[in-house]
Structure 1
Amino acid sequence: MIHGVGIDLVEIARIRDWYVKRPAMAEKILTEDELQIFNAISLEKRKIEFIAGRFAVKEAFTKAMGTGLGKDFGFHSINCLPDSNGKPEIRLEGYSIFPSITHTDHYAEAIVIIERET
């Protein structure tokens, strides 16, 4: 049964400006596992896309859960990692979660569909 659907759209320029002013922002948004991937990226443009995509997918996830970012879920409690094929994956006991992230030159967008396991 579908528990919820969430979507989020982020302007890449906004994330770039934020990151240029405060590079430590990556540590506020990304989990330790996500930071390992981020730190291995050599191109700055791709680093910004990665942060923007993870920001969007975490926002979309909390919208699908119906909670928003806050006491139930924060940036560090949502770990979005690629599976063996590179597809984004979020795991939470009791749920099947289907995230998708896309980028253009100007935007990062994510959608998350969550099913409650029975």
Structure 2
Amino acid sequence: MIVGVGIDVVDVARFGEALQRTPALAERVFTAAERGLPLASLAARFAAKEALAKSLGAPRGLSWHDAEVHREDSGRPVLRVTGSVAARAAELGVASLHVSLSHDAGIASAVVVAEAAAPPRPPAGEGAP
């Protein structure tokens, strides 16, 4: 069962200008592991964190560092959540998070789907119309 969906789009050049204008922004938004990535990848990760917040209802108090985008050996991106983000996901009954990232033509984008475990099925003959 889908709990929430979030999407975000980032202009890569504009995001790069923001990082140059406010050097502390990178430390505030990205974990140490993320900060060494190329600009387009950073913009996509920023979009993923924004999309994740939207999929969880965009509550106040989520920490940027409590969400991190990793890549599996296959290259597939995955979200790892801890702290405030994990607590909000648990509050909503989220069992899994799905993320898709893209960057092309100066734009980075991300979509996040927050999914709860499927409700248990009633035994055969019970609860069926």
TM-score normalised by structure 2 residue count: 0.73
Q: 1:79 is paired with a residue of what secondary structure?
A: strand
Alpha carbons 2:9, 2:47 under 8 Å: kept: yes
1:78: which partner in 2? 67
Q: 2:45 aligns with which of 31, 51, 54?
A: 54
Percent identity between the two aligned chains: 34
Give the distance between the partners of 1:91 and 1:116, measured in 2 at CA.
Answer: 16
1:66: which partner in 2? 57
Runs of 4+ in 1 over 6 A off after TM superposition: none
Q: 2:100 is paired with a residue of what secondary structure?
A: strand
Root-mean-square deviation over aligned CA pairs: 1.8
Number of aligned residue pairs: 107
Report the alpha carbon displacement of residue 7 of structure 1 after superposing the two structures with TM.
Answer: 0.3
List gaps (5 residues or longer) in structure 1. Answer: 42-46
2:96: which partner in 1? 96
1:106: which partner in 2? 106
List gaps (5 residues or longer) in structure 2. Answer: 87-93, 119-129
1:8: which partner in 2? 8
Give the distance between the partners of 1:107 and 1:11, measured in 2 at CA.
Answer: 5
Alpha carbons 1:29, 1:51 under 8 Å: kept: no
Q: 1:91 is paired with a residue of what secondary structure?
A: strand
